[in-house]
Amino acid sequence: MSDPTESIHAASPPEPEASWELTGIDRAIQFLVLRGTWLFDEALDVDRLKQGLSQLLVDYPHLSGRMEGLDRVRFVDEGVPFATASRHELTLRRLVDDHALAHGLAAPLRMGPVKKGRIAPMAVRVTHLADGSVLSVTCAHACMDGSSFYSFVRSWGLATSGRPWPEPVLDSSLMPRREPRPRAEVKADALARGWRSLRLLRMIPVSVHLLTGRMNRRGPPIRLGPEALEVLRERAVRDAGDTPLSTNDLLTAHLSLCFPRLFGHRPPTRCTWLIVYDGRERIRGIPPHYVGNASYSVAGPTYTLADPLGKLAAMVHHTLDPVLARPSEHSTDQIALAMELMEVGLFLSHFDITEMHARRPTLVYQNNFSRLPIYDVDFGTAAHPVRPVRVIPHDLADPVLFWPTPPGEGGVEVYLTGHAAMRLERLAPDDPWWARVRGEEA
């Protein structure tokens, strides 16, 4: 028996013939799907959630629209599917312990029909458990990046309780664009900046692993509590000089030193770290509530595993300083060049994409979600809040993912994905690597 499904429409219709244009970055990740999974220790009021979603879709018309071609979404308000299900044999504890099972509760979203305009780019399912409920939201990554996705669900909670929510900005023309240049000139510019052509032969096994889900396999959470972070900070300060270190600087440096060792790399090995950052307010002209893909990445200088934590953390800080400025000319110029390359059909990258998913990678690709409003969700009322007790990380193939801990716990959770997760499965519980990554090694 199939789940009861209702099509949720916007509370008021969109403008006739209106549409949202996808940027080159949106189009480049059309094969990816975001899966958000929120666990609640009580039954969700499905009718109230549907009403709140209907109100919110007025401001997010592309989610109930349909794609046309590969470069735009028509605001036709044909609805977002909302399914309900009951799995009373399941408990919250079991889903916390088995993330794959939790993700399996999500409504499927196949990108083939999405791109052909046959179905909505978003689907919702609420599953009632023995001791609570699960809210699963799947969304085409082309329509939102992680920041706008989790902000959308936060706004959904506000709409459900009748509170105002930040007005999203659906205007892809705000992304920086350059005056058209000859293809050869664009390529020469990128190569001069150190961008490189994708090695297609090396992309084949990576693509196979991504399509089969092998690269989405994730290891158990590695918790770095407040005490562990403080120990790491004290250790780093010795070699950081006068550089003020943020928690992000510290985490990036710490995992950059731990991650390669998981694959047997030794201190002389030269490695590179890379982090994903939110370009809102950093890319000139992109406001904080821009909807679409406004995240990008920056790769740092090479380092060795013999470098002290503080020295590497200071390197991270000085590399990110111009990138994270508000606004940042570096970030604006980088994203403009990336979009220009896509417009002229050149597949170049500022880092080695194949190396991030290599069997023994020396590139440490990291994505930090710990400061996003992931737990800042409330589907209740002022008198009776309904907040998630756990949010399961999405299952994209970020090799290193930083994730917030549940409210009140403090610190962060670290998740390793792909080949790193497979390595963890073979790592003995008493292996010294665990003490190193948890900050327990002197």
pLDDT tens sequence across 352-397:
888 888 899 999 999 999 999 999 999 999 999 999 999 999 989 8
**C-alpha R_g of the chain:** 22
Give backbone dihedrals phi and psi of 9, rounded to 5 degrees, phi first: -110, 160
Q: Which fold has domain 183-371+389-437?
A: Chloramphenicol Acetyltransferase (3.30.559)
Q: What is the pLDDT of residues 243-259, one digit of tens each?
A: 999 999 999 999 999 99
Nearest 5°: phi and psi at 270? -90, 130
Residues 6+ apart with CB under 8 A from 282: 323, 324, 325, 326, 327, 328, 331, 332
Domain residue ranges in the chain: 5-174, 183-371+389-437
What is the CATH code for 5-174?
Answer: 3.30.559.10
Q: Whole-angstrom distance between the N-terminal and C-terminal Cα of the chain?
A: 57
Two tokens at 281? 């307010």
**Could you tell me which residues come within 8 angstroms of residue 211 by beta carbon, excluding any fewer than 6 positions away?**
none
Give DSSP secondary structure letters for 191-227: HHTT-EE--HHHHHHHHHHHHHTGGG-B---EEE-HH
Reported as a single tens digit per residue, the pLDDT across 119-169 is 999 999 999 999 999 999 999 999 999 999 999 999 999 999 999 999 999
Other C-beta atoms within 10 Å of 179: how many?
A: 5
- Measured between alpha carbons, how far is 169 from 285 in angstroms, rounded to an integer? 12
Instruction: Write down the pTM of the prediction.
Output: 0.94
